[in-house]
Chains A and B, each alone.
Chain A
Amino acid sequence: MTGVGAKAYDPGSASGECPVPLLRRPGAASRERTSELDRLLGRVAAGDTAAFERMYDEVAGAVYGLILRVVRDAAHAEEVAQEVLIEVWRSAPRYDPSRGGAMAWIMTMAHRRAVDRVRSEQAASDRADRAGRREITPAHDEVAENVEKRLEHERVRRCLDTLTPLQRESITLAYYEGYSYREVADMVATPLGTVKTRMRDGLIRLRNCLGVA
């Protein structure tokens, strides 16, 4: 039985109000930027290198930041980010806009590559070491990003704060550290079903808090 997880699952509070009203309305500006990104990717698909440059400026910070967060090592992160961005160029003609938007496509690719890197290339001791210094929320970039990115960062941090500590732990270990759900279950000595449930309940809560359709 998935006892603990089943108890933790509370659809009422999962769909409940977020602490800050702003959180339920993703800004119109970010939606515009998304469609702008889709338009750029369409031009990239046609081999437009100038469009690729503009797209680079839009996404490179998020791509590099996420990869750095997962692989932890700046040199490795740079290498993986380069691979991903070149892969974006290479496979842009295969991008299907009906499947969730350009940003999701690019970031999913970045995340998979980063996870792939930590799973295949880092020694077990290295991973254990990383586990020792896990952080819950994304680190702040000292170099000033634009205001909208800061707001988004703050929004995500606040939404992460609405999760139970156990939900937050399983989601961050998986997404930001690249651990599989089986590894997470081992690390926190919890049954597999419970970990799967925590991840699901936590993501539902996050999804609602962030106003994802």
Chain B
Amino acid sequence: MSDDLHLLAAAYALDAVADEDERRLFEAHLTGCASCAAEVRGFRTTAVRLGAAAVRTPPPGLRERVLAEIREVPQASPATAGADVIPLRSRRPGRTRFAVALTAACLVVAAVSVGVALNAQRSDRPGPADRTVAAVLSAPDARTVTGSVTSGGTVTVVFSRSRGRAVLTSSGLRSLPTEKTYEMWLIGPHGVRAGGLVRPGADGRVRTLVAGVLADANKVGLTVEPAAGSRQPTTRPIALLGI
């Protein structure tokens, strides 16, 4: 069953949303939902009180080491757009760090510059389709549902009745031979409509977010189709999510 995207506010404020895609989807939602952002702020302040209550006397050598080290560490230049800079994982050994940077870069490509595939049309720069995705993610009535894919991986669908669209993202999808593609379907009482082609990168995450037209759909499905996509599904669904 689907859950209200707002419901994630508490888990998010507790840093308990470990899945990066899910976190980014929620953050995208926050940018368009002022009441959610306010709720997250209140929850964070509450969490900080829990944190501060765990106060302990720090080890004696720490103060000296920190004070010595800051004299060597240059300060960052002020952020340009007032970004809330809370860096994660900045001190990893080289290779991990690179991998993390790479993953982050892929996600940024997926979530921010969203070259969205709408019915197989791919674009490299943000266009109307990107705005469609952003509108769904930030919709006040955005809901989310996650399901597993029989051939491996999971798909998450964020949908908004008010925006009339469903956005699909994935993780761990197996890569397909070049002559095949994943295709999203919106299934309702009046038939099945193509939602867009889903192309996972090497890491199994969708490279471009797909925003299918919701209409009266009550299920979202995923099938494997010929590379150009199909007008109607030609294989059995490998994922089927009720929305």
Which residues of A pack against B, CB within 8 Å? 1-2, 45, 47, 49, 52-53, 56, 60-66, 68-69, 74, 78, 81-83, 85-87, 89-94, 96, 98-101, 103-105, 107-113, 115-116, 119-120, 138-139, 141, 143, 145, 149, 152-153, 155-157, 160, 171, 174-176, 178-184, 192-193, 195-197, 199-200, 202-203, 206-207, 210, 212-213
Contacts and interface: CB of A to CB of B under 8 A. Distances in A.
Interface in B86-126: 86-91
B16 A181 contact: yes
Interface stretch (B53-61, B163-171, B197-205, B232-240): B53-61
A49 B70 contact: yes
A139 B41 CA distance: 26
Nearest first, the 4 A-B pairs at minimum CB distance are A180-B18, A65-B56, A156-B53, A174-B16
A94 B83 contact: yes
Of A92, A93, A116, A196, the most chain B CB neighbours within 10 A belong to A196
| Residue picked from B53, B73, B76, B78, most chain A C-beta under 10 Å | B53
24 contacts: A1-B1, A52-B70, A62-B54, A64-B56, A65-B52, A69-B51, A74-B59, A82-B62, A82-B66, A87-B90, A89-B75, A96-B79, A96-B83, A103-B48, A152-B53, A153-B53, A156-B53, A174-B16, A181-B11, A181-B16, A193-B1, A193-B3, A196-B8, A203-B43
Contacts of A199: 10-11, 14, 16
Which of the four size classes fits the interface of chain B? 35 or more
A109 B53 contact: no
A180 B18 CA distance: 6
A93 B50 contact: no
Given A99-B84, A104-B48, A183 B18 contact: yes
Contacts of A98: 82
Interface of B: 1, 3, 7-11, 13-19, 41-59, 62-63, 65-67, 69-71, 73-79, 82-91
B48 A107 contact: yes
Nearest to B67: A53
Given A81-B58, A90-B73, A182 B51 contact: no
B116 to A, nearest CB: 27
A192 B10 CA distance: 13
A115 B16 CA distance: 9
A112 B170 CA distance: 25
Contact of A65 (B14, B55, B76): B55
Given A64-B59, A199-B16, 7 more contacts: A94-B78, A171-B50, A175-B47, A182-B18, A203-B13, A207-B45, A212-B45
Contact of A203 (B10, B17, B59, B71): B10
